[in-house]
Amino acid sequence: YGNVNYKTYKGHNGEVRSVAFVPGKREFFTSGSDRQVLKWSLDSKDQTLQVVYSGTDIIEVIAVSPDASWLALGGNNSVIKMVPLKGNAVGFDMTGHKGKIKSLIFSYDGKYLYSASLDGKVLKWDLAARTSTNITNGTMAITSIDIASNGSYIAGISTDGNVLVWNPDSNSDSFRPQTALKNIKVIRFNTDNSILAMGDINGNIELWDVSKRTKISEVKAHTAQVNDIRFNTTLKQMATVSS
């Protein structure tokens, strides 16, 4: 506090639901329970904010496309809203889920969007055609996902806290990390490789090599539920946050 490297950004009225950085830029988006999505600049001396969405839905999750041309918004009414950030493109809605959206992830070429919701399905959206394909393995209801950088693996958390890893192009290529009924709450791939981090309800963190299907390490990191995990690949660090 008081350090030049510390800033506070105030613009939402109520709880902040999601944060997403713009790839390659010092900008980020936030969504709040005030039913707004705001855009912020890290370099501005003043607290300049831009309202990019204001509507009737509370946006629970945000994703920015790799070229920063589209913003995908997932709300509590099962609709995915696509908001253009460049040019004269027109925004549109995509419907296919029947539950609250919990995860949105763009493919690394920006052509596809993966979504998971409380209906237990994982959908792969062709953004040019605006059509979806159900890529759920079928063995469990998946409500939250992450994708490896090369797109060869998707990891998902089921409604009962188990984890499934599968190839989105081949549902037969799948496996379940043995988490011994630990009730996993968050998963995150390290973008440099096929390392998957998992956090459970009791504060444990596990690292798995999904290509070898083996557990690398486990640590009692927190004394309560792990809520999020992020990797800093430049400094080879991992950050975790807990209740």
Instruction: Give pLDDT, residue 137.
Output: 67
Which one, of 199, 196, 109, lies nearest residue 148 by Cα? 196
Between CA 156 and CA 151 the distance in angstroms is: 14
Residues in the chain with pLDDT values less than 70:
1, 46-47, 137, 171-172
Closest by Cα among 60, 20, 66 to 40: 20
Over the stretch 98-134, which tens digit does the pLDDT of each residue have?
A: 989 999 999 988 999 999 998 999 999 999 999 999 9
**Residue 172 has what pLDDT?**
66
pLDDT the model gives residue 171: 64
What's the whole-model pTM score?
0.85
Q: What is the dihedral of CA 159, 164, 169, 170, to 10 degrees?
A: -120
* Residue appearing with tokens 């309202």: 51
Q: What is the pLDDT of residue 143?
A: 87
pLDDT of 149? 78
Q: Report the pLDDT value the prediction gives residue 1, as an integer from 0 to 100.
A: 64
What long-range pairs does 89-92 form, CB within 8 A, spacing at least 24? 92/130
